[in-house]
Amino acid sequence: MKKLLIASSLIALTSASWAQPQKPTYAYFEGVNLSAGVAQNSTTATTASTSTKENTSLGIAKLNYTFALAYPAKLGISATVDLKNSKVSETENLTLNGPTEITLEPGVLLLSNSLLYGKLGTYSSRYESGANPTRNLSGTSYGIGFKHYIYGQNFIQAEWTQRKADDNPAGLAGVKFKQSSAAVLVGFNF
């Protein structure tokens, strides 16, 4: 994880040296941006009689395209990928299954260089338990985020996301999965 954080910082710092035409500050939020960072996932599996909870630290990568709406509104479309499996218990994991989230992110400019946005979309993962067969899970995700430009097109962002897998007979029948994710990312808007 230390390597991922160092690589993310170096990408953010070196991107400042790329020549870009000057844009008005409110336009930095528009177009393609790429970010990477670290997250803490808290996964809960609940049955009628028991509940297990595990925390996992992991890397996260995000690709976003933001459209300009009537000032001060913006609308983003994002694909987020967790770069590591999330533990459910010592023998159970929620593993990578393509993009972890695809979300719509309506937002509003707070200042010329800060954006507050909501997240609403889909969630996808794969349940694995030792030698048992795997099952794909899908569901919904929602959350909130804050993005702040620190220098030119370089930004930092913080997000909180709640993910819930739809009812699925993964593992034992009646198991429901919920995951809270808190992330801090650095990125660049192209």
* The two three-digit tokens of residue 168, written as one number: 């699925």
Task: State the pLDDT at residue 119.
Answer: 97
Q: Which range (39-43, 102-106, 169-173, 182-186) has the least confidence?
A: 169-173
The pTM score is 0.80
Q: For residues 156-164, give the mean pLDDT.
A: 96
Residue 102: which of 73, 132, 122, 81 has the closest Cα? 122
Euclidean distance between CA atoms 174 and 171, whole angstroms: 9
pLDDT of residue 22: 53
pLDDT band at 21 (very low <50, low <70, confident <90, very high): very low
**Structure tokens, 154:** 């370089």
Q: How far apart are CA 72 and CA 74, in angstroms?
A: 7
